[in-house]
Amino acid sequence: MVIVSCVNMPLWIRTRLLFLILFLSVNISLIILTYAPAESAEQNLVVRFLDVGQGDSIHVVTPDGFEVLVDGGATASVLRKLSQGRSFFDRKIDMVVATHPDSDHIAGLVDVMKRYEVEYIFRTNNINVTPASVAFDDYAEKEKAKVVMVQAGQVVRVGASTTIEFFAPEGDTANWPSNNSSIVLCVTYGDIDFLLTGDAPKAVEENIVRLYGDRLESEVLKLGHHGSDTSSSQTFLDVVKPEVAVVSAGKENRYGHPHPKVLERILGSGIDVVSTAESGTITFVTDGSRVWRE
């Protein structure tokens, strides 16, 4: 550090120097404000269901600028989606949630950890020896992030006004089928809830309905397992009562997602349905009392 003494300087030099220091201080403040997320000025929560093809990735930005990424899809395409509307200098994500170790949920998170500094990783101890799972474990260790093993009942406050509550899994998931180990979580801002279900099957849905009942009620529901008929039972839909159901799936995918029976249940329940396969990235904005699509 260089310290400049002003004691023996002529008055005009001291005046100009002080003016320069003041000018730089003001402009540094403006740069900081420029790179702050726009949402923080509007007091809105933004939830983006990213179009990552056949996979899941949900990007949450709180009103005070905290970022949460739930899953990362199967490829590095998640990086392109995350970069949209983002400062080149913003290389931090506060919280990553890996719902379960299937490649269409976590393979892209490896690329995220290579590009971004991640402060917290929320995951389960489910064991999967696929290349994507092994790579995720390796990079999670290299990231040196704080790792939290998720259990039902945990609640996390993200920033000043947003909470995340975990409804599943419950118990030691190490040797479970990977979909059964899926993290189910709810992002809440004010009176608005987003329920994100990973690939949780109907058996998990039944369990969390039994445990939490009406607490599952949410305005926006991410359908389990990309709209497969293994998830989204009628009982579950009746309890959640979503206004909108989101399908995260690839266009003309070989699995036939979303399944016609699921769409029949959704539409028969008077729920609007949107799909990343048809609409690309789907963005919701909420001020805590109402929610709308951008």
Domain coordinates in residue numbering, the chain: 1-35, 39-293
Residue 282 to residue 273: CA distance in whole angstroms? 11
Percent of the chain whose predicted confidence (pLDDT) is above 70 = 86
* 3-state secondary structure labels for all residues of 231-290: CCCHHHHHHHCCCEEEECCCCCCCCCCCCHHHHHHHHHCCCEEEEHHHHCCEEEEECCCC
Residue 102 confidence (pLDDT): 97
Residue 86 confidence (pLDDT): 85
What are 232's two structure tokens?
């989204």
Residues 50-74: tens digit of each pLDDT: 999 999 999 999 999 999 999 999 9
Q: Is the omega angle on the peptide bond into residue 258 within 30 degrees of 0, that is, cis?
A: yes
Higher pLDDT, 11 or 109: 109
Is-contact 48 282, C-beta < 8 A? yes
Lowest mean pLDDT among 2-6, 132-136, 280-284: 2-6
Residue 33 confidence (pLDDT): 20
Residue 126 to residue 131: CA distance in whole angstroms? 15
pLDDT at 16 > cutoff 60: no
User: How confident is the prediction for the chain on average, in pLDDT?
Assistant: 88
Higher pLDDT, 73 or 11: 73
Lowest mean pLDDT among 157-161, 194-198, 260-264, 281-285: 157-161
What are 10's two structure tokens?
């002529």
Give Cα separations from 150 to 102, 121, 170, 171 (angstroms): 17, 10, 9, 10
Residues 229-276: tens digit of each pLDDT: 999 999 999 999 999 999 999 998 999 999 999 999 999 999 999 999
Residue 89 confidence (pLDDT): 83
Residue 11 confidence (pLDDT): 46
What are 22's two structure tokens?
């003041």
DSSP class of residue 175 equals: T
Q: 134 pLDDT band (50/70/90 cuts)? A: very high
Which residue shows structure tokens 């039944």?
A: 206
**39-293 CATH choice from 3.60.15.10, 3.40.190.170, 3.40.50.300, 3.30.750.24:** 3.60.15.10
Residue 30 confidence (pLDDT): 28
Give the residue ranges of DSSP H helices in the chain: 11-35, 39-42, 77-83, 103-115, 131-143, 202-212, 234-240, 260-268, 276-279
Residue 65 to residue 75: CA distance in whole angstroms? 26
Burial class (CB in 10 A: 0-12, 13-18, 19+), 120: middle
Residues 6+ apart with CB under 8 A from 269: 234, 237, 238
pLDDT at 17 > cutoff 50: no
Residue 174 confidence (pLDDT): 96
Nearest CA-CA partner of 82 in 145, 245, 91, 293: 91
Residue 169 to residue 183: CA distance in whole angstroms? 6
Q: 85 pLDDT band (50/70/90 cuts)? A: confident
Nearest CA-CA partner of 50 in 40, 62, 58, 38: 58
Q: Find the radius of gyration of the CA atoms of the chain.
A: 22
